[in-house]
Amino acid sequence: ALLPILEFPDPRLRTVAKPVTEVDDKIRQLVADMFDTMYDAPGIGLAASQVNVHKRVVVIDVSEDKSQPLVFINPEIEVLDPEVSEYDEGCLSVPGFYETVVRPNHIRVKALDRDGNPFEMEPQGLLAVCIQHELDHLNGKLFVDHISPLKRTRIRAKMDKKHKAEAR
Ligand SMILES: O=C(O)C[C@@H](Cc1ccccc1)C(=O)SCC(=O)c1ccccc1
Ligand SMILES: [Zn+2]
């Protein structure tokens, strides 16, 4: 099912998500709904926080043809070396804006999969960027928190205007 995506500056996006205690069918239904929502948007990632479910669940698929769906439950990131890289990030909660964000590019991710089994990976490139972007969501952070206050203020003003026009 498609779930509504919260949009900046909605304060609920600032909630810190809670760890999943048991990977059960309810969580698996949430994962399925998150994939439906992500592919429909379209996007390459989605954190449960964005659909107002404050649990540490992330779905990602950076493939061109929806062939690499990944689930990260209770993800943890370790920075393996200080080298960083830049990427023009977008966000389904800040639609229409893309800004350059600097992030470490060599990380290890540990998480549970959709069956509750622990796994780890050292993602490269866009997958490494996306995982860090999604983990920010679980911690109540948005990519606009990584850009200048002036740019954030301008984006907030444009989003507020958009929401006022929609409310009419
Ligand atoms: O808000 C989100 O978490 C989704 C976001 C993930 C992301 C994109 C780029 C860098 C880091 C994280 C998006 O998917 S925005 C949309 C987007 O980037 C995209 C959409 C369609 C095809 C390819 C990319
Ligand atoms: Zn986002």
In tens digits, what is the pLDDT along the chain, a chain of 168 residues? 999 999 999 999 999 999 999 999 999 999 999 999 999 999 999 999 999 999 999 999 999 999 999 999 999 999 999 999 999 999 999 999 999 999 999 999 999 999 999 999 999 999 999 999 999 999 999 999 999 999 999 999 999 999 999 998
134 C-beta closer than 6 A to ligand 1? yes
22 is catalytic: no
43 C-beta closer than 6 A to ligand 1? yes
Question: Are the beta carbons of 34 and 46 closer than 8 angstroms?
Answer: yes
**ipTM tops the 0.90 cut:** yes
Atom 5, ligand 1: residue with shortest CA distance: 91
Atom 22, ligand 1: residue with shortest CA distance: 43
Distance of CA 65 to the CA centre of its chain: 19
Which ligand lies nearest the alpha carbon of 41? 1
- Bridge partners of 101, per DSSP, are 87
CA distance 66 to 159: 29
